[in-house]
Amino acid sequence: MSVFCRIDDKYVPLYRILWVSAVPHFCGSEDCQREGQYEVRLEQDETIWATADEQAAALRTIESWHGEEQDDPLDEGD
């Protein structure tokens, strides 16, 4: 599977994502361009902004990516 997810018209490598906001941005500023978008924090103090759809897709992709990596030997033969 791809190790990229598409956020804000960029293909972002999943391993660069530190965290994804669970709630949409709200700061009360009248000229805020990011209201209703979800903050996605990358390494090196980089922040990008996802729509609700992109946030959900990113989380799904990250979960299945981790699921693929976790080949848990403790689960076998139990």
Name which of 30 and 53 has its Cβ closer to Zn ion: 30
Question: Cα(53)–Cα(28) distance, rounded to whole angstroms?
Answer: 22
- Compute the least distance from the CB of residue 31 to Zn ion, in Å: 9
What's phi and psi for 35, nearest 5 deg? -60, 130
Name which of 37 and 61 has its Cβ closer to Zn ion: 37
- Compute the least distance from the CB of residue 69 to Zn ion, in Å: 34
Which residues are at the interface with Zn ion (CB under 5 A)?
27, 29, 32, 34
Per the rule left: phi > 0, alpha: psi between -120 and 50, beta: everything else, 5 is: beta
